[in-house]
Amino acid sequence: MHTECPSCFKKHPITEKKLLLSKGEFLCNRCYITFDPNDHLSEKGLFKKNSESSSDSELDSPTDSLSEFWKYGAGLFTLILLLQIYFFKGETIAHNKTIRPVLQKVCSILNYPLAPYKNSEEFKVLKVSFDPADNGTYVLNASLINQADFSQNQPSTKLALMNYVGETFAERIFHPKDYVINNITEIKPGMMTEIKIIVAVPSEKVAGFRFELI
């Protein structure tokens, strides 16, 4: 609340207590005239200030809402983009040694399965043999160790049989289900595993063999 000087129009803040004490006389400190403050009371200035404050609040509110909208929208867009990348390139990304530890943590939080790590080159073959058995079959024995930083599933293997002139006359791919023992399919880092495959009597004499992981 304020009172306005009728001479110079200067606005003076005033309270009800000051009005009572003035006893109808108020001195303007600009033009030094005396006037009755009750005759020139006004609250327009206060209302104007409140109006401006309200207007500012109304202007700020949509801006804040828009900012929040863009923030959540950008987050959602990023999530969708990452899901699309993982869907189309998930296996490649999951095999990246730098990115995989991060993916493991994220998938653990989201309780989402991560594509198994697979790199047959990180299995070291410690020993391998292919010997005839008493019943006329052949037995392939191999020992492997996982040298990767991550767990791997049992690898598939390719066995090729060669005759005395060095030609391949038989070849077959064996998958883990063909040779896994004790249902151990996951090989942890540094863990050794054994492979044992029984091969039926071939039609030709076996002079040599070739064994590889795939």
- 73 and 94 assigned to the same domain: yes
41: pLDDT strictly greater than 60:
yes
The answer to whether 28 touches 5, Cβ cutoff 8 Å, is yes
Containing H/E element for 97? none
pLDDT at 53: 43
Same domain, yes or no: 106 and 32? no
Tens digit of pLDDT for each residue in 98-155?
Answer: 888 988 888 888 888 888 899 999 999 999 999 998 888 999 999 999 999 999 999 9
Clarify whether residues 151 and 76 are in a common domain: no
The last residue of one of the domains, among 71, 96, 115, is: 115
Same domain, 203 and 167: yes
Same domain, 86 and 140: no
Residue 150 sits in a domain whose CATH number is 2.70.50.60
Give the dihedral of Cα atoms 144, 116, 156, 125; nearest 10 deg: -20
207 and 188, same domain (yes or no): yes
Number of domains in the chain: 3
Query: Does residue 205 share a domain with residue 132?
Result: yes
pLDDT (tens digit per residue) in 173-213: 999 988 877 677 899 999 999 999 999 878 888 999 999 99
Q: Which domain holds residue 21?
A: 2-42
Average pLDDT, the chain: 82
**At which of 55, 85, 115 does a domain end?**
115
Residue with the larger pLDDT of the pair 152 and 67? 152
User: What pLDDT was estimated at residue 144?
Assistant: 94
Q: Is the pLDDT of residue 80 over 90?
A: no
Sheet containing strand 208-213, edge to edge, reads 168-174, 157-162, 208-213
Report if residue 78 sits inside a domain: yes
Backbone angles phi, psi at 200, to 5 degrees: -65, 160
Q: Are residues 127 and 142 in the same domain?
A: yes
Residues 88 and 19 in one domain: no
pLDDT of residue 86: 60
Q: Which residues of 91-120 are buried (b: 16+ CB within 10 A; e: fewer)?
A: eebbbeeeebeebeeebeeeeeebeebeee
Residue 73 φ then ψ, to 5°: -65, -45
Are 184 and 128 contained in the same domain? yes
